[in-house]
A and B are shown apart, each in its own frame.
Chain A
Amino acid sequence: MSKQKKWLLSCIAIAAFLAIVYVLEATIPKSSQWSMLFTVLEKGSIYALVAVSMNLVNGFTGLFSLGQAGFMLIGAYAYAIFTIPVEQRAAVYQYFDGGLVQFTLPVIVSILIAGLVAAAFAFLIGLPVLRLKSDYLAIATLGFAEIIRAIFQWNTLGPITNGSNLLRKFYTYDSALYPIIACGICIAIIVLLINSSYGRAFKAIREDEIAAEAMGINLFKHKQMSFVISSFFAGVGGALLAMFQTTIQASAFKAAMTYEFLLIVVIGGMGSVTGSVIASYLFIACREWWLRFLDAETYIGDFKVPLLRAGFRNVVFAVIIMIIVLFYRKGIMGTNEFSWDALIRWFKNLPKNIKSIPGRIKNIPNKFKRKSKKEAQINE
């Protein structure tokens, strides 16, 4: 297929998708259970943006960073603080005499500021932290996120952050199209970056630091760049999440949130933007919609279905991640990306693949055998 044709096809697909969302939004009433679809589309897009930004650092640059929730928190707060209407501030900051900030900025400007503030924090903590390797970097960034959360809940900063109280009444969007388009643009920018010579340098660092350095790639500068850009988009993601939730509170941005993104990145495939996006929608759809029934006590006639009760959803997620780590280590996409050619090939091979499923299931015990042999060799 020619390049032009692919471009045309992509444009048509995107336009069709947006049109379908627009029509569905106009026809599905808010009360119907199908309105969950919009939750999935909105939150899924936001999660996709943050997951892709995390993938940029973890999957493409090979830095194990767990600070995403912290940067989202900074972005969400920066956005909220600058967009609460002045006349509402007295009500929101009721314990702090209306707060210190007494002006509002346009929404787009606030979203950009949200990203820039997160990026500035990333730059500062990157200076010491990015000199650490692997697990140590993960611990340091995780610690940073927790500290940020504590600072934003600190009463002394209340006139700005409203302490541990909710921030609310800031501007929010009224159509699912806004977050979808905003996240789409951001992800497109990240993809352009990954395909540029900077992106190649990031991948080189991931693969072999010494060889990368011998090529004349400045390791620290590029790690810093990847980290700051990733945090910028996490900050934007935080701002969009604030809009989605309509209220925000620092206590929600726990380490558990970062793990959700880590889960998405691993399920989607480390080093695949497409994988992260698919996994985000899947994860949100399962958590918010399809697997909800697991948390509800269910009766069939007089029989109470065992195990189903509040919290069981998380158990199922834990099992899913174990299955993925054991059998599907590369995730949905590995390091591959979406392409029309691959999609057409996939549909062509579908009948063959379905036929081979029984054989593959039979092979699962062998997989275990082979692995244990390999491990035994390593242990020797």
Chain B
Amino acid sequence: MLKIENLNVHYGGIHALRGVNMHIQEGKIISLIGANGAGKSTTLKSIMGLVDKSAGSVIYKGEDITKAQTIDIVKKGISLTPEGRRVFPDLTVKENLLLGAYLRKDKAEIKKDLEMVYGLFPRLLEREWQIAATLSGGEQQMLAVGRSLMSKPQLLMMDEPSLGLAPIIVKSIFEIIKEINKNGVSVLLIEQNAKAALEISDYAYVLETGTVVLEGPGKELITNDQVRKAYLGA
């Protein structure tokens, strides 16, 4: 579905990504793990066209989107839930969700998807008219995920959905990710919480200082010594 080849990104003088290769298969959960500063967020941002790539190519469904604008990438069905949630604090929950569907014109379908999101997160329905800033961290994460779903993505990319959340809420967020995936959305997940991510993912990549050092099915990586030492603290 999405093929990334030899992706390179420079931030000024810093070489943040040094030739990343990844392959995301349709209908799967793929996770990308690694330490702080390894280049995980940069990878997602460069797929979205939010940062400039210095070399490499991104192929989505056989189409080259390396140089495409963010707006066109969203239209093609890729959606990003940015790191740290980044909901629009002074807008209501409903307004936040509708902004996720900004590029869509089919009003009836948008309404259906709104109900789908409320079905997934009943808490959001309860707080439909509340200002997003007044939600708790977990609710804001639900809102951010719901907002991404409103663009009706085929590929949902999530940047650290468990950041700063209580363990019980992290668990429910991961349950939701599985459910979203079951509905036919491919997921690319970035996580610090490597164990939880590897458990639910079909395939995983380990990123270190801008290159993929290890890859394999999620369940295999959990038992991999190198991964255990570096990321699972065992």
The answer for the CA separation of A113 and B91 in the assembled complex, in Å, is: 35
B50 contacts across to A, CB distance below 8 A: 210, 213-214
Which residues of chain B (63-96) have a CB below 8 Å from chain A?
69-71, 73-75, 79-80, 82, 86-91, 95
Asked if B48 lies at the interface with its beta carbon under 8 angstroms from chain A, I say yes
Q: How far is the CB of B81 from chain A (nearest CB, A)?
A: 8
The answer for the CA separation of A203 and B87 in the assembled complex, in Å, is: 12
Pick from B99-107, B121-129, B189-197 the stretch touching chain A: B99-107
Q: 3 closest pairs, A vs B, by CB?
A: A216-B74, A211-B86, A207-B88
| Residue from A204, A216, A335 in contact with B88 in the complex, judged by beta carbons closer than 8 Å | A204
Asked if A217 lies at the interface with its beta carbon under 8 angstroms from chain B, I say yes
A204 contacts across to B, CB distance below 8 A: 88, 91, 99, 102
The answer for the CA separation of A214 and B96 in the assembled complex, in Å, is: 13
Q: Does A201 lie within 8 Å of B86, measured CB to CB?
A: no
Q: Does B70 lie within 8 Å of A216, measured CB to CB?
A: yes
In the assembled complex, 13 residue pairs joining A and B whose CB atoms fall closer than 8 Å, in A order, are: A200-B99, A201-B99, A203-B90, A203-B95, A204-B102, A208-B86, A210-B82, A213-B70, A214-B70, A214-B74, A215-B151, A216-B71, A216-B75
Q: Does B98 lie within 8 Å of A200, measured CB to CB?
A: yes
The residue of chain B having its C-beta at the shortest distance from the C-beta of A214 within the complex is B80
A197 contacts across to B, CB distance below 8 A: 98, 102
Q: How far is the CB of B179 from chain A (nearest CB, A)?
A: 22
The answer for the CA separation of A206 and B73 in the assembled complex, in Å, is: 22
The answer for the CA separation of A200 and B79 in the assembled complex, in Å, is: 19
The answer for the CA separation of A210 and B91 in the assembled complex, in Å, is: 16
The answer for the CA separation of A216 and B72 in the assembled complex, in Å, is: 8
Q: Does B102 lie within 8 Å of A215, measured CB to CB?
A: yes
A211 contacts across to B, CB distance below 8 A: 82, 86-88
Interface residue ranges, A against B (CB under 8 Å):
197, 200-201, 203-204, 206-208, 210-218, 271, 335
A217 contacts across to B, CB distance below 8 A: 71, 99, 102
The residue of chain B having its C-beta at the shortest distance from the C-beta of A221 within the complex is B71
B74 contacts across to A, CB distance below 8 A: 214-216
Given contacts A203-B91, A207-B91, contact A215 B86 (CB under 8 A): no
B70 contacts across to A, CB distance below 8 A: 213-214, 216
| Residue from A212, A214, A218 in contact with B48 in the complex, judged by beta carbons closer than 8 Å | A214
* A-B contacts besides A211-B86, A217-B99, A335-B90, 12 pairs, CB < 8 Å: A200-B99, A200-B102, A203-B91, A203-B95, A204-B99, A206-B90, A210-B82, A215-B102, A216-B73, A216-B103, A216-B151, A271-B90
The answer for the CA separation of A151 and B224 in the assembled complex, in Å, is: 73
The answer for the CA separation of A200 and B80 in the assembled complex, in Å, is: 19
Among B70, B102, B147: residue with most chain A CB under 10 A: B102
The answer for the CA separation of A215 and B86 in the assembled complex, in Å, is: 11
| Residue from B82, B86, B90, B102 in contact with A216 in the complex, judged by beta carbons closer than 8 Å | B102
The answer for the CA separation of A235 and B122 in the assembled complex, in Å, is: 47
The answer for the CA separation of A197 and B95 in the assembled complex, in Å, is: 9
Q: Mark B149-179, 1 if CB is under 8 A from A, else 0.
A: 0010000000000000000000000000000
| Residue from B71, B82, B88 in contact with A203 in the complex, judged by beta carbons closer than 8 Å | B88
Given contacts A216-B70, A216-B75, A216-B103, contact A200 B91 (CB under 8 A): yes
Q: How far is the CB of A339 from chain B (nearest CB, A)?
A: 13
The answer for the CA separation of A197 and B104 in the assembled complex, in Å, is: 11
Q: Does A215 lie within 8 Å of B99, measured CB to CB?
A: yes
The residue of chain B having its C-beta at the shortest distance from the C-beta of A213 within the complex is B70
The answer for the CA separation of A212 and B82 in the assembled complex, in Å, is: 10
The answer for the CA separation of A204 and B48 in the assembled complex, in Å, is: 18
The answer for the CA separation of A207 and B73 in the assembled complex, in Å, is: 22
B89 contacts across to A, CB distance below 8 A: 207-208
B73 contacts across to A, CB distance below 8 A: 216
Q: Does A215 lie within 8 Å of B91, measured CB to CB?
A: no
Among B70, B75, B147: residue with most chain A CB under 10 A: B70
The answer for the CA separation of A211 and B91 in the assembled complex, in Å, is: 13
A215 contacts across to B, CB distance below 8 A: 74, 99-100, 102-103, 147, 151
Q: How far is the CB of B144 from chain A (nearest CB, A)?
A: 8
Which residues of chain B (111-132) have a CB below 8 Å from chain A?
none
The residue of chain B having its C-beta at the shortest distance from the C-beta of A334 within the complex is B90
The answer for the CA separation of A217 and B50 in the assembled complex, in Å, is: 12
The answer for the CA separation of A206 and B147 in the assembled complex, in Å, is: 17
Q: How far is the CB of A3 from chain B (nearest CB, A)?
A: 15
The answer for the CA separation of A211 and B74 in the assembled complex, in Å, is: 12
Q: Does A210 lie within 8 Å of B102, measured CB to CB?
A: no
Q: Does B102 lie within 8 Å of A207, measured CB to CB?
A: no
The answer for the CA separation of A212 and B88 in the assembled complex, in Å, is: 9
Q: How far is the CB of B110 from chain A (nearest CB, A)?
A: 10
B75 contacts across to A, CB distance below 8 A: 216
Which residues of chain B (14-42) have a CB below 8 Å from chain A?
none
The residue of chain A having its C-beta at the shortest distance from the C-beta of B75 within the complex is A216
B69 contacts across to A, CB distance below 8 A: 218
| Residue from A206, A207, A218, A335 in contact with B71 in the complex, judged by beta carbons closer than 8 Å | A218
The residue of chain B having its C-beta at the shortest distance from the C-beta of A207 within the complex is B88
The residue of chain B having its C-beta at the shortest distance from the C-beta of A218 within the complex is B71
Q: How far is the CB of A215 from chain B (nearest CB, A)?
A: 5
The answer for the CA separation of A218 and B99 in the assembled complex, in Å, is: 12
Q: Does B71 lie within 8 Å of A210, measured CB to CB?
A: no
The answer for the CA separation of A335 and B92 in the assembled complex, in Å, is: 12
Q: Does B82 lie within 8 Å of A214, measured CB to CB?
A: yes
The residue of chain B having its C-beta at the shortest distance from the C-beta of A271 within the complex is B90
Q: How far is the CB of A221 from chain B (nearest CB, A)?
A: 9
B151 contacts across to A, CB distance below 8 A: 215-216
